[in-house]
Structures are given as structure tokens and as C-alpha cells.
Structure 1
Amino acid sequence: MKKIKNQILDIHLGKIKQYNLNIRNTMLILGIVFFQACINSPEKKSSQGQEHPNITKLKAQSAEFKPDIIKLNENVYVAVGYDGSNASMVIGEEGVVIVDALRALGAAEKVADEFRKITNKPVKAIIYTHGHLDHTGGTSAFTGNDTDVNIIARAGFKDELEENSPVEPILKQRNIRQFGRDLPASEVINRGVAPGITPTDRAGKGYIAPNLTFQDSIILNLAGLDVELHAADGETNDELFVWIPSLKTLFTGDNYYKSFPNLYAIRGSQYRDVKSWGESIQKMSALPIEYLVPGHTQPLTGKSVIYKNLKNYSTAILSVYQQTIDAMNMGYTLQQTVDSVKLPDSLIDQPNLQEFYGSVPWGVRSVFLHYVGWFDGNPTNLYPLSSVQEANKIIELAGGDKKMFKELNKALKEGHYQWGLQLADYLLQTDYEKTKVIEIKINLLRALAAQQVNAPARNYYLSYSYELENKNKK
């Protein structure tokens, strides 16, 4: 910065001499020059903490979760923003049908009270679009003491969830990081498709298991309405969509929301069938829909708007899938495949395909590993060096610990944050300046978080940085 200021001062001093300005004007010009140099320098911008455009964009997404009971038509009401997902009420002649039941029982009770202000008809059925806790945890708030309510889901409901996994402990930890559950409130923006902070009052305590399940599709008369339920693999393998022809209303579950879809969850999940996901959206888009209710974010109204949103969604998913398959068949390694797959230019700027929640590279990695497993075809990777061996060789190649540490600091200073993380991880395989290296890694993680439009990535970077910070203090 000093060099920049001196260069600017030399230029302006030349102008002062050229125009023979008096001392007062000279000092005024020098003061302005100095001020401009300060505010325009990268160091000053960084210290002022200017917000990255991606963070501004992510903050704007929070408007999707403003708490509200949205009336779509005389029969359909959607509760948005009361919890991490949406819950809906469909009014029929004989009663009401609830689609999804939130996560926290306390939040579900508030929504149930709001729904009862609209109608006091009894709840005849509750439909789970899939097994995730944020759609199933508050059911008893809607059923009350009535044990005759139909609770409907797909066969295989909840089979793949973390509570049934042998690696549940690490999945829970990663879940906490992805959603930023342990972050200070001041650090939280949102979760991409949900509020950043959601109710915890009796989370999951209202869950009631399904008493009616189906395999592929079923048509039921519920509360006097003919309701179609269709299996629709996508975000989960127990996902379904709800179509009510008489109301021209579709409930997509988590196969659609206003963000590029989360084809792979960094918290850890079983393979999400990407091809089937795209095909499920295609199947939905063929319906004459006038009202669309997603599992998260606000509902859509209007045939043309809905068709456009579903069409570009399915096109994006299937494009990522097919590009990945094509690259694999050309013998690309995993990283080469990730580097080659991009959304088509016509889709990149679509509002419902911004990477607030899902990420194209994550989806590519998931497809690649699903079809061929961990080995990417490069024989170099059959028996790689251990992490410690590789670190020592790279550090030696760099000229030793001190030079590597110098490069690490340089990466942070020059904004090469991902490269810096990789250098830090090499040094952390040794005992060289461990405390200082961890401090730099913390700063790198937070610098990356400050640039992220993707909420799970941002939350994970920040959560991990706080974990390191707490360990480093001990």
C-alpha cells in the first residue's frame, strides 16, 4: 500500500509543480489523494469488511422464508417460515388434508392454530412427502387426540435416514456443520432453502408413523377430494408428489424449491438418484398445474410460470447428469469431470437455479462415485501415499517447512484461499508452527465463507473454523 501511495503522490506532485499551486491547495490535494489511496487499497477494503456480492445475494434469499400463511386459492393454504420447511392445508367438503408437518412440535402447534382460524373442519389425513425430520416432526399438533387420521407415505419411508445408519455419530456432526446449528446467531444468514435459525421446541416429538403406505402410485378420496400420490425418487428415495386435479394444485416435496437442487448433501447421505430426480420433475411438468407448493421456499402461481420453473429445473438436473456420464465415458478422472461440467448458458442466471443450497460440482462427484466408486481410473490413485508421506514430500519439494509456511501466509494475503487451505493441511501433518498454521487455516475458512452464495458451504466453513478455534485455545 505504501508503494501505491508513493506512486500516486509522485504523479500528483508533478501536477502541483506544473500548475504552480499555492501551499493551501497543495495540502488539500495531498489530503484528498491520501484519502483515495486508503479507501481504494485492497487492505483497507478488507479491514472495512465490505460485503461480497454473493453474501448480499444469499441474504436476499431470506425473503423466501418470511413467516406467513399464504392463501393460494379457497382450498389451499401454505405455512411458510414458521419452521425449516412448509406445511400446507387443503380444505375439502368433509375435512382437511395436511401435507407435511414441520420439524418442531412447538412450531407445528402455532401453524395448526393459524389453520384452525381459517376452518374448524377436522383433519382427515396427513401426507408425508418424504421422511426427513423437518417434514414429519410436528404431526400430533394437527391430529390432536384423533387416532383415526390417515398418515400416508411411500413404502420404505425413512429407511435411508441417518438415525438408521451405522455412521450416525459422524452424520450428526456433519449435519450440525452444514446447517450451522452451533454458530453464533450473528454469523447465521439462512440455510439456502430455510431460515438460518429454526425452532427447537420439542423437535421431532410430534412424529407419528404412517398407517397407510403405497409403492408406485395411488388415488385416494381424502376429505371429499380425489388426491393422487406418485412415487418420485429425488432428494430422497422415499419421496412422493401430491397432485389434486380438481384444484390444479401440486405439492412437490423437496424435489423442487427455489435453489439449484441439493443433488448431494455435504452432511453425508445415500446416493440421490439424479437421473430419476430430473425425470420426476419432467413428470410433474406435464400436469396442468396452476398452483405449485414446494417443500421449501414460497409457492408459485400461474401455469406458464410453473411450467418454466419445472422445465428449467429438470433440464438442469438431467444436463448435469448427462454431462457427467459423457465425461466418465471419455475416461475423465473425477476432478477432470468436475472441471468439465457446467450448467448451460441459458440456465446459469435462472432465479430458481442459483446455488443457494445445492452445488453443481457436488452433484457431479456424487454421480461419478455412484457409478464407479472411489477409483477414478488413474492408476496413480490405486495405492496413493499416506497423507503424512505426501505432506512431507510436498514440503520438501517446496524447500522446507519455513518456505511452505511463507507460501501459506502469501496465499492468505493474496486471496488464494483454497490453495492456502491445501497448504495448511500439508503443514498440519507435521509439528511445524502448528498453532500458527491452525490460526491461518481459521482465517482461510472464514475468508472462503465470506464469499459463499451456497449456504451449506458457508455454514460448514464457519462451523469448522469455530471448532478449530476452540481446540486451539486448549
Structure 2
Amino acid sequence: MCNSPKNPSAATAAANRAAVDRYDMADRRDFADSRRGLIAELPGNVTGADGHAIFDPHDFDYIGDDTPAPDSVEPSLWRQSQLIRHGGLFEVTKGLYQVRNNDIANLTVVEGDDGLIVVDCMAGVESARQGMALIREHVSDKPVAAVIYTHTHIDHYGGVKGVVDAEDVASGKVPIIAPGHQFDKYAIGENVVAGNAMARRAAYAFGGLLESGPRGFVTCGIGIASTSGPEVSYISPTDLITETGTRREVAGVEFEFLYAPDTEAPEEMHIWIPQLAALTCAENANHSLHNIQTLRGARTRDARNFARYLDETLERWGDAAEVHYGPHTWPVWGNENITAFIESQRDTYKYIHDQALRLANKGYTPLEAAEVVELPEELARNWANRGYHGTLHHDVRAVYTKELGMWDGDPVSLHPHPPAESAKRFVEFAGADSILAEGRRAIEDADYRWAVEILHKLVFAQPDNTAARELQADAYEQMGYQAEGPQWRGIFLSAALELREGIKPMPFTTASQDTILGMPIDILFDFVAVHIDGPKAADVDLRIDFEFVDRAETWTTWIRRGTLGARRGASRDTQLTVSGPKAALTGVLLQPGDATKLAESGAVTLAGDAQALATLASVLDEFDPSFPIVTP
């Protein structure tokens, strides 16, 4: 098989050249704004402790500022990539600074009278550390007075230990301010309990398996970096914001918060800094359409809430805001521009929500609706509403999922055969040679969507059929070259890569040591519970108590009828009690076979029948981080 990316077809080249006419390419305001206030360029690579390059800005030198889009990149995505490839330290307004584009997310720093307030911390410790070094060199060496997380996603808290010392947080010296009643639950639970599947899907969507270049990874759309193996850290918040209008004064700077749950994240908030006339709507207003349902996999969002809280923000602060800074991409300056920006984003999410449900009420299925919904011209031609993160097509389908559930309403989809079984029956009926012939015809006619659909049956029925895999890879590749949405591009090109070369090792995992150790105890047991092999555990009757000596909490766990349950309090009929600090008990729960070694070292104590841990170990399943996607 040919394992290198192929040329864009003549049809793809023509489609991408024709796409230029859909856009307002003469509008160059964003190019000036994305470079406004530059203080210092990035100093070079972001490197890990072992010296490997986590991020190299020169990987994107091929995206020239004035270079026209190559035929293998959709021109709107190319333009967005030109805007975000430049990284560095920027002054947003006097007293507010950002480090951008050495990570998928921004590091924002507010300079107070006697300290710095950091708003969001990037995804990785190393990128955050580089960002803080730029702040120290060019802005201020004042100590960090507080950290603010705008929401529960990993690219906004993962770099926290590159910003602040955990001991300073634990001592109360540096508060961590965050939204919601259950920030830990959603930050850790969403990213870890289903994290193995999420990380695998994210590697496709964010191009983690692709080489940088015009026929591979371009950018993430909302940020330049697809970082390689960063250290992901976590420190729990110490000050939770649960009501709109709540204020905090830190280092002489007043912050006012708008609580916006169930929007882009389960827990999220907007922030107003009156003395700077500076506003952020976190990720509810971006230079991109956002996801109502992420392709990596996460809870479906409420598009109506996006619009509702953006309108409330305008009502509260819209007349006074002079700069809007985001945790991704570049700011918006000037009250008139800010108002227009937020109004346009508000109306886009409201339109998607309302039109999806209008069509649902007319009997359309999600896919049927997604094929016909188009934004009004005024919204569609606004660059900030283009699909650089979410896309209109999958956001329309996501509204159905949020409001109507997983079934599309068509009885044929209610109880279908699994893909591999359906594929075998289809191939037996149609014939492998006929499917190959139809796949070739479809590719020759540039009917790539049909080509991947028909060839999917053959690949799933005969995964070793080299001709079918190669043809499907060719079709996916052209679809990737034509995709405006970088996540669609990443998914299609990653599919082509793995069809040609087989499964690639995963570049990262969400289950870092810090995130696992940071899990609230109830989420920790949820994490263990999804590892229970139900059929193996069906006849197991097991009860183990865990005494968390550093938390002064005891929990009892049981396995019965194939499930693991847990609740606070000790059990009268426990078979075993395991005592120790939370970090050690986490190790016992995830690797119960190592409990004896931990007991011998004095890290934990065992009281009762230690054989209970062997029983637990026997029913724990393991997850392959590189499970198949494009093959059965």
C-alpha cells in the first residue's frame, strides 16, 4: 500500500478554489487584531522534562501570512490557521496580558497592585511555565495572588502547576476560583471516567496522529498547538462561584462573575473586570462556532443556554465593555465591535437550536435536518461563526441528542445489526467485487461521501481486504482536504492514515496522575466501577471497606450482580478493611494486585481477608488506548 498522503484530486482542488467565493476574503481586520499588542515572540520550543519537544512553533512555518491556501486545505481553515500561527506575549489592555499559541488555549494574566491573577492555565504544565516566564521577563515578577478557572475543561486547568505551587494553594495563600457546585466532579469525571474513549477520539479529531503540513495537521482551529505528551496537572478549586453577581477582590482588582452552567461546559462562568472594562464570556463566545456535541465525546451542551447567557452578559455589561478577551484566539476591542460580536454568536446558537427543533417537529431526522439547515447570510459570513471547532452540521444533530435523545425517530435505526454483522450480510448480498467497483466509480466521480459509505461495508466485513482499505483511505483523504472544520479534517485524515498503516500509538491520555489523584472519592469509585467486567463479576459477592485516613472518611464498596457500588460509612459485614491516605488507596483500587507490596512498605494496612483484593483484581478490565476505529 502507498503509505504517504496523496495529492488532492482535481475535484478537491476545484472545490477548494470555489469555496473562496463563499467567504469575505477582503475582510482583513482579524489579521491586525491577532497581532495587536505583541510584546514578545515565543522564545522557542516547549520541552518536556526528558527534553522532547512538546510544541515546536516552527512546525507551522509553512503557513505563510500571505501564502494562498494549498489545494489540500480548505481556504477558510487556512485563513484561520494564518491568524493563530503567531504566538507570543500580548498586551490586551493596560494591566491585562495573554500568552497565546504555544498551547491550544491561552494564558491570561491580570496585574494587580501586589500580585498577578491568572485566568486559565493552558493544557500543559510546560506551556504554562513558558508563558509565566514571558510574563516575569516582560511584565511583572509579582507573586501569583489567585488562579481562576473559567470552566471544567482540561485545556484550562491542566497547566496549573506551571503557574502556582500546590502548597501555596493548600495553605490558603493562593485561592483557586472556579464556577459551580461540583467543579471537581465535572472536571475530573468528564475527562477520566470515559477518558480512554475520549482520548482515542480526540487523537483523531485534533490531529494528534498526523504530521504537521498542508496534507496533514494544520491547526486545531481555536488554537495552534496539538501538543505532544504534556504534563497535565490539577489542583482543586478553593473558592466556588455559584451565583451570578458574585464579586471577589484580589490584589486590588475587582472581579464580577456571571454563572453560566450547562453551556460549553457543565460548569462555566463569564468574568467582568470593571476597572479594566474587560470582559470574557469564556468559551461561550469565540472566534469560531463551538461544539454543541464534541466529536471527542463529552456531555451534550444546551445551545439555548449559550444564547441565554450571552444575552444576559450583554444586558449586564454590554454598554461598558471595551475589550473582550477569550481563553482561545485573539481579543475584540471597542464597545461597538464587542456588542456585535456577542450578538452574532448569541443569534447563531439560538438559530441552530430553534431551527433544529422546528425541523424535528416537522418530522425530520437529525441527519435530514443537518443537510438543510444553513445560517442566514449575515451570520454565515461572520468569520467568528465559521466551523473551526464545532460545525453547523454536527451541531444541528447535537440539538436533537440534547432535546430528544439518541434515537432519530426512524424505526429502522432502533434495533439495527452491529456494524460488522451488518457489513458481512451486505457484502454477501452485494458481492465484494461489486462494492469495490462501485467504490472506484464513486471516487472517480468525486462522490467521496458515497465512496466511504459503501466501502465501509467491505472493510468491516473483510478488514484484511487491502484494495478496499486503500480505496476508502483515498476517499477519506479527499474529504479531509475539503473540510473547513479542523476536527472533521483530523478525523478523515486520521482514518486514511490508519487504513493505510494500521493503528498508531496514542499520543496522550486524559488519565494523568494528577487527574486521578484529584478525583473526588465518589468519582474515584465511579472510575473503578467502569473497569468492572460485568460478566466476570456476575456471581461475585464481595465487600471491602476503604478508610481514607487523610480525609477522615470511610467508604464501603461492594460487588454484587456484576456491579460495583460505594457509599460513605463502614460496613458491619466487610471482608476486608484497607486503611491509608487517598493516594495509596487509589493505587490499591486501580492495581489491587499490588496491595500486598503497599502493605509491606507501610503505605496501607490490611485488616481481614486479603484474598478479597485478589477477587477484585480478577474482575477488573483493562482498556486499550489504541482501540480500532476504522476497522471492526
* TM, length-normalised to structure 2: 0.64
Residue 326 in 1 paired to residue 358 in 2?
Answer: yes
Q: Give the Cα–Cα distance (whole angstroms) in 2 for the partners of residues 158 and 428 of structure 1.
A: 42
Deviation for aligned residue 1:470 = 2.2
Matched, 1:456 2:514: no
- List aligned pairs for 1:188-267, cutoff 5 A: 188-198=217-227, 200-201=229-230, 203-205=231-233, 207-217=234-244, 218-233=246-261, 234-267=263-296
Q: Using the TM superposition, give the Cα deviation of residue 231 of structure 1 relative to its aligned residue in structure 2, in angstroms.
A: 1.3
SS in 1 for 2:363: coil
**In 1, Cα distance between the equivalents of 2:267 and 2:350?**
20
Deviation at 1:448, TM superposition (A): 0.8
Corresponding residue of 2:117:
97
Say which of 55, 77, 80 aligns to 1:58: 77
* Distance change >3 Å, CA 133–CA 351, structure 1 → 2: same
Alignment of 1:48-127 (within 5 A): 51-52=70-71, 55-62=74-81, 63-117=83-137, 118-127=139-148
Preserved CA contact (<8 Å) 2:96 2:108: yes
Describe the shift of the 1:324–1:143 C-alpha distance in structure 2 as closer, same or farther (beyond 3 A).
Answer: same
Structure 2: distance between partners of 1:305 and 1:199: 36
1:140 to 156, 161, 165: 161
Alignment map for 1:384-395 (pairs within 5 Å): 384-387=416-419, 390-391=422-423
| Residues 301, 402 of structure 2: 8 Å contact kept | no
Is residue 408–residue 420 contact of structure 1 (8 Å, CA) maintained in 2?
A: yes
User: How far apart in 2 are the matches of 1:124 and 1:472?
Assistant: 45
Whether contact under 8 Å (2:270, 2:280) holds in the other structure is: yes
**Structure 1 letter corresponding to 2:450:** W
Q: Aligned pair in 2 of structure 1 residues 375, 337: CA closer, same or farther (>3 Å)? A: same
- 2:97–2:109 CA contact under 8 A, matched in 1: yes
Distance in 2 of aligned mates of 1:111 and 1:351: 28
Deviation at 1:130?
1.0
Deviations 1:349-383 (A, max 9, x none): 11111111111121111110222222222233333
Shift of 1:228: 0.6
Q: Is 1:179 aligned with 2:210?
A: no
Q: Distance in 2 between matches of 1:442 and 1:191?
A: 22
Give 2:308's aligned residue.
Answer: 279
**1:453 aligns to what SS in structure 2?**
coil
Q: 1:415: Cα distance to partner?
A: 0.7
Decide whether the 8 Å contact of 1:83 with 1:199 is kept in 2.
Answer: no
Range with bigger deviation, 93-102 or 439-448: 93-102
Are 1:408 and 2:439 matched, yes or no? yes
Label 1:132 to 1:387 Cα distance change in 2 as closer, same or farther (>3 A): closer
- Point out the structure with max Rg over C-alpha: 1
- How many residues are paired up? 429
What is the CA distance between 1:285 and its match in structure 2?
2.6
Q: Given that residues 243 and 250 in structure 1 are in contact (C-alpha distance below 8 angstroms), is that contact kept between their aligned partners in structure 2? A: yes
Aligned residues of 1:289 and 1:306 also touching (Cα < 8 A): yes
User: Counterpart in 1 of 2:332?
Assistant: 300
Matched, 1:419 2:450: yes
From 364, 373, 393, the equivalent of 1:341 is 373
Deviations 1:211-265 (A, max 9, x none): 1112123211111122112211321011111111121101222222211112221
Whole-angstrom distance in 2 between the partners of 1:42 and 1:141? 47
SS at match of 1:411: helix
On the 8 A contact 1:445/1:461 being kept in 2, the answer is yes
Kept in 2: contact 1:258–1:353 (CA 8 A): yes
Q: 1:199 Cα deviation (Å)? A: 6.1
Give the secondary-structure state (helix, strand or coil) at the position aligned to 1:241: strand
Deviation of the 1:412 alpha carbon: 1.1
Contact persistence 1:162–1:171 (CA under 8 A): no
Partner of 2:396: 364
CA RMSD of aligned residues (A): 2.7
Say which SS state the counterpart of residue 71 (structure 1) adopts: strand
What code does the residue aligned with 1:336 have? E
The answer to whether the 8 A contact 1:132-1:158 is kept is no
* Cα distance in structure 1, aligned partners of 2:477 and 2:422: 26
SS in 2 for 1:428: helix
Gaps of 5+ in 2: 1-8, 18-68, 505-632
Give 2:183's aligned residue: 157
The verdict on how the C-alpha distance between 1:113 and 1:329 changes in structure 2, with shifts beyond 3 A counting, is same
Which deviates more from structure 2 when the two are superposed, residues 219-228 or residues 191-200? Answer: 191-200
Give 1 or 2: higher helix fraction: 1
Asked if 1 retains the 8 angstrom alpha-carbon contact of 2:206 and 2:226, the reply is no
Query: 1:193 offset after TM fit, Å?
Result: 0.5
Three-state SS of the structure 2 residue aligned to 1:450 is: helix
Deviation at 1:332, TM superposition (A): 1.9
Q: Supply the distance in 2 between the matched residues of 1:134 and 1:388 (Cα, whole angstroms).
A: 36
Pick closer, same or farther for the CA change 1:238–1:379 going to 2, 3 Å: same
Shift of 1:275: 1.0
Residues 262 and 252 from structure 1, CA distance in 2 versus in 1: closer, same or farther, beyond 3 angstroms? same
**What amino acid sits opposite 2:195 in the alignment?**
E
Counterpart residue identity of residue 127, structure 1: I
Q: CA deviation at 1:396?
A: 6.9
Q: Report if the CA contact (8 A) 1:188-1:196 is conserved.
A: no
Cα distance change on mapping 1:122 and 1:452 into 2, 3 Å:
same
Provide, for residues 35-65 of structure 1, a one-character-per-residue CA deviation record: whole Å limited to 9, x for no partner: xxxxxx949979xx99338533322212224
Question: Could you report, residue by residue, the CA deviation over 1:282-303 in whole angstroms, capped at 9, with x for unpaired residues?
Answer: 2223312111111100111111
Amino acid at match of 2:182: G
- Alpha-carbon shift at residue 138 of structure 1 (Å): 1.9
Point out the more displaced range, 282-291 or 310-319.
Answer: 282-291
For the Cα contact (< 8 Å) 1:70–1:77, is it kept in 2? yes
Q: Name the structure 1 match of 2:567.
A: none
- The two structures have a TM-score, normalised by structure 1, of 0.84
Q: Secondary structure at the match of 2:201?
A: helix
- SS for the counterpart of 1:125 is strand
Distance of aligned partners of 1:320 and 1:472 in 2 relative to their CA distance in 1, 3 Å threshold: closer
Q: CA deviation at 1:161?
A: 4.7
> Structure 2 counterpart of 1:407, which letter?
E
Q: Which residue of 2 aligns with 1:169?
A: 196
**Structure 2: which amino acid aligns with 1:249?**
A
Mapped to 2, the partners of 1:312 and 1:272 lie a distance apart of: 19
Q: Secondary structure at the match of 2:476?
A: helix
Kept in 2, the 8 Å contact 1:81–1:194? The answer is: yes
